[in-house]
Structure 1
Amino acid sequence: MHTTTKSLTERDQNHLWHPLTQHKLHPEMLGIVKAKGALLYDESGKEYIDGIASWYTTMYGHCNEYILSMVGRQMQQLDQVVFSGFTHLPAIELSEALINILPDNQQKLFFSDNGSTSVEVAVKMALQYHFNKGHKKNVLLAFEEGFHGDTFGAMSVSGLSVYNGPFEDFFLEVKRIPVPEGKNIEKILQELENLLGEDNTAAFVYEPLVQGAAAMKMHDAHGLDQILALLKKYGVLLIADEVMTGFGKTGTYFASDQIETKPDIICLSKALTAGLVPMGLTTCTQEVYDAFLDDDIAKGFFHGHTYSANPLACTVALAGIELLRSEKIQRNITNIMKWHGVFAEEIKEHPKVKNVRRLGVIFALDLTVDMQRYGNLRDKLFNHFMNEGVFLRPLGNTIYVLPPYVITREQMEKVYASIRSAIALF
């Protein structure tokens, strides 16, 4: 092995291109060498509380011993096999376990590699569903400020221009509506009635209850249910992007559990495999699946990924579901929700804070800060938190927390204390 005295931060700059990074402004990356539970450790030995579960993935903690033991055994049995023409026990057991916790109408699972591809699969499923039935429906519907991933179909239904700018001329046709916020629901429903009269809308892609990349923007469950019910009446397929919200983060297994009208298709990733390996899943109803069954081979769903249903990833996901359903993790989720509630009551009256919101283990607040005065506000906040030993990734003037379920009360209090001190900076 080649040895060098250079740090990881120095060596990184030679060849690596990081996601969501303007390297001219942020040339240096912090080298992380170890992680355990809710903690990250850099190469100097400093520890950081992972307050966002590494982009909402490591919900059961880093290097979870139960998950590692399960995947370690599987590695000795079957590592990888093509999922076209073959099947295997980890995929079958995962399907059975997942169907038991998904909304009751879900019946079939299609594997891919990540959150973006799970949405890409869902969009293609929806468009071909109508095509196979002899209907030309080429318009997609989505919320304003939604985010669904970085592949072209997923970008098309996303509404954050900072991600999409150079590519918008190549997108699918998408129409957008505001998220329901109580008073605006009648206007949204009327707008939809007019739109749906054209009978060309194939599907509605939505993040249920929380729009993550839009700075944890939360919306009204009752209003969303009214929107979904109207769309279902017109035969529009409902695609719930639960990549961020899935697996307990909103207080229920899935955000869709809190809404009466259930999706036809659900997109899953992130916490699906507990932060250990990549995998995406797109689940659907029997009705959606049946639209692809035909003597004509061309009506099949011709989409595939080399690592679809990788046995190791399936084993990790199955272990994660077992942990999610355990009494200990459910108790921890309840505790985090209570801690967030106490902190929200304390901080909501602060003169520099507005719009404190929370759902499940997700907590967010906005700072009443002059953004022009602090043009690099996000960087100031990020650096403050890291200096305090807390890993949070503010979104503009929004500070949010989405901790692993294994975080301790002491660790959570340190996160809250770092937010208090961050507010005091302005």
Structure 2
Amino acid sequence: MTKSASPIWHPFTQHAVQPDATLIARGEGAWLETADGRRIFDAISSWWVVTHGHRHPHIMQAIKDQADRLDQVIFAGFTHEPAEKLARRLVAMTPPGLEYVFFSDSGSTSVEVALKMALGFWRHRGEKRTGILALEGAYHGDTIGGMSVGERGVFNAPYDPLLFDVARLPFPSAGREEATLDALNAACGKGEVAALIVEPLILGAGGMLIYTPDVLSEMKRVCETHGALFIADEVMTGWGRTGTLFACEQAKVTPDIACYSKGLTGGSLPLAVTLCRADIFDAHYSTDRSRTFFHSSSYTANPIACAAALANLEIWEKEPVLERIAAVSRVHSAQLDRFREDRRFTNVRQIGSIAALDIASSDAGYMAAIGPRLYQGFLSRNLLIRPLGNTIYIMPPYCSDRNELSLVYEAITDVVGEIL
């Protein structure tokens, strides 16, 4: 086996079968470019973070301007204008009832914060609720709490001694919705559940599996009935991916705790927030210092990242972002039709700007052998598409046009045809 000359250990990469990484020098709009001028269409928004396109001018200018004023300051006992403005705007635009904003630096850490908020809430209220519920097939990140509430398997098997127990609910696929709700009701009925955490409307790394707003709404109702907290992990689903600004809007629910990241800065810089109800903050508010919320990172609420996020919010306010998402959605709908009667494909599906389809095969799931072959086939056609095993998905930046997306769908037909 030939090892790469680079000392970098890349994420989710088996270097023995993928020794060389593609060196990217520039990015603009929906495209990446290598130093020698090769252009690659970013059909997955660089792991779902880029919303308006690479290097949106308004966000880039905000980053430059903030860098000239303040780069970093401790956020314990200090604050700064970009964070204050951003927090107020987030409270105003997220579902009503979310009143406090805790900053972190990634989707995984925003989930850690949410879980710690939930457990701290019950402890400080003097109630012994420590159970956490999650959906089968879920993915909530790669930190210890995130892995614990995610699906157990190849992602986290070596780290099992570190993980805490979590009760699983069956995924509410079509025809199985009642089983999910019954399991949720039964689990919450014991009075020991601290919180349910879900990816609203669609599982991400779990295979781009979609469920209905009605089910999401009913899960929230069951939690309310039994007093369990409802955590919405909108790290991927937020910022327009499902067709609305936040996925919870479609179910008309306000989570008790919500996690947002990825598109928060338009994909330019790492930043995350966890929003919560006032009573969750109040449970930690005390002259007793032992009730402090003990969580931080050195770069909490980095001013430059907050400035990028503010610029992103201004783009949402001033530019027709939802119309662009709707246009991408229409292209998906039209292009997916060609695969619905093709027996090589199954479970053709779409929500908002996300489209997905599975290659019909007995070798299914994230570790399906066809996944790396598909990836290389797409890359050879200058397309960044990173299949989840036998699941091909497209999640492009909102600036993508019909012609660019047509290249993607033509490549799916060609690459699968060559492999099969």
Sort the TM-score into its range (normalised by shorter chain).
over 0.9
- Kindly state the Cα deviation for residue 185 of structure 1 after the two structures are TM-superposed: 2.7
1:392 paired residue number? 385
Q: CA deviation at 1:12?
A: 6.1
The aligned counterpart of 2:261 is 269
1:65 maps to which of 47, 57, 60: 57
Unpaired segments ≥5 residues, structure 2? none
8 Å Cα contact 1:113-1:307 kept in structure 2: yes
CA distance in 2, matches of 1:262, 1:113: 23
Quick one: which of 95, 98, 105 aligns to 1:106? 98
Say whether 1:77 aligns with 2:57.
no
Seen in structure 2, the aligned counterparts of structure 1 residues 13 and 217 have a Cα distance that, compared at 3 Å, is: farther
1:363 Cα deviation from its structure 2 partner: 0.4
Matching of residue 45 in structure 1 with residue 37 in structure 2: yes
Superposed CA deviations along residues 7-26 of structure 1, whole A, max 9, x for unmatched, are xxx99633111111121222
1:36 to 25, 28, 33: 28
Aligned residue for 1:210, secondary structure, equals: coil
Name the residue aligned to 1:5. Answer: none
Q: Deviations over 1:200-244 (max 9, x none)?
A: 111111100110001211112212221221112111111110011
Contact 2:98–2:277, Cα closer than 8 Å, also in 1: yes
CA deviations 1:9-61 (Å, max 9, x no partner) are x9963311111112122211111111111111123321110001101111111
Task: Decide whether the 8 Å contact of 1:59 with 1:274 is kept in 2.
Answer: yes
CA separation in 2, counterparts of 1:23 and 1:11? 7
CA gap of 1:339–1:284, structure 2 versus 1, over 3 A, is: same
Contact 2:243/2:322, CA 8 A, preserved across alignment: no
Q: Which residue of 2 aligns with 1:410?
A: 403
1:379 has 2:381 as partner: no
Aligned to 1:423: 416
Q: How many angstroms does 1:419 deviate by? A: 1.3
Report if the CA contact (8 A) 1:103-1:257 is conserved: yes
- TM value normalised by structure 2: 0.95
CA distance in 2, matches of 1:125, 1:43: 45
Q: Which residue identity does 1:268 align to in structure 2?
A: Y
Task: Kindly provide the amino acid, as one letter, of the partner of residue 382 in structure 1.
Answer: Y
Q: Distance in 2 between matches of 1:193 and 1:59?
A: 37
The alpha carbon displacement at 1:321 in A equals: 1.5
1:7 is aligned to none
Post-superposition Cα deviations, 1:248-275, rounded to whole Å, max 9, x if no partner, equal: 1111011111113321001111111222
Contact 1:146–1:160, Cα closer than 8 Å, also in 2: no
Q: Give SS of 1:33's match.
A: strand
5 Å matches for 1:214-253? 214-253=206-245
Aligned to 1:142: 134
Count of aligned pairs: 416
In structure 2, the residue matched to 1:55 is 47
Q: 1:15 aligns with which of 7, 17, 20?
A: 7
* C-alpha deviation, 1:170, in angstroms: 2.4
1:146-166 deviations in whole A, cap 9, x for unaligned? Answer: 000111111110014111101
The corresponding residue for 1:201 is 193
Question: TM-score if structure 1 supplies the norm length?
Answer: 0.94
Say whether residues 1:212 and 2:208 are aligned partners.
Answer: no
Q: Is the 8 A contact 2:170 2:179 kept in 1?
A: no
Distance 1:130 1:311, change over 3 A: same
1:169 Cα deviation after fit: 2.6
Q: 1:134 to 1:375 in 2, by over 3 A?
A: closer
The one-letter code sitting in structure 1 at the alignment partner of 2:98 is Q
Aligned to 2:394: 401
Question: 1:156 is matched with which residue: 127, 134, 148?
Answer: 148
Q: Which runs of 5+ in 1 are unaligned?
A: 1-9
User: Aligned partner of 1:136: which letter?
Assistant: K
Partner of 1:307: 299
Per the TM alignment, residue 375 of structure 1 is displaced from its structure 2 partner at its CA by 5.6
Partner Cα separation in structure 2 for residue 42 and residue 146 of structure 1? 34
- Residues 335-363 of structure 1: per-residue CA shift (max 9 Å, x gap): 10111111122321222111111011000
Find the aligned partners of 2:66 and 2:267 in 1 and give their Cα distance.
17
2:98 and 2:254 in contact (8 A); partners too: no
Structure 2 contact 234–258 (Cα < 8 Å) conserved:
yes
On the 8 A contact 1:52/1:404 being kept in 2, the answer is yes
Cα displacement string for residues 263-292 of structure 1 (whole angstroms, at most 9, x for unaligned residues): 100111111122221111111111211111
User: How far, CA to CA, are the matches of 2:404 and 2:24 in structure 1?
Assistant: 19
Aligned equivalents of 1:57, 1:186: Cα separation in 2? 33
The answer to whether structure 1 residue 258 and structure 2 residue 245 are counterparts is no
Q: Does the CA contact (< 8 Å) of 1:181 and 1:223 recur in 2?
A: no
8 Å CA contact 1:252–1:258 kept in 2: the answer is yes
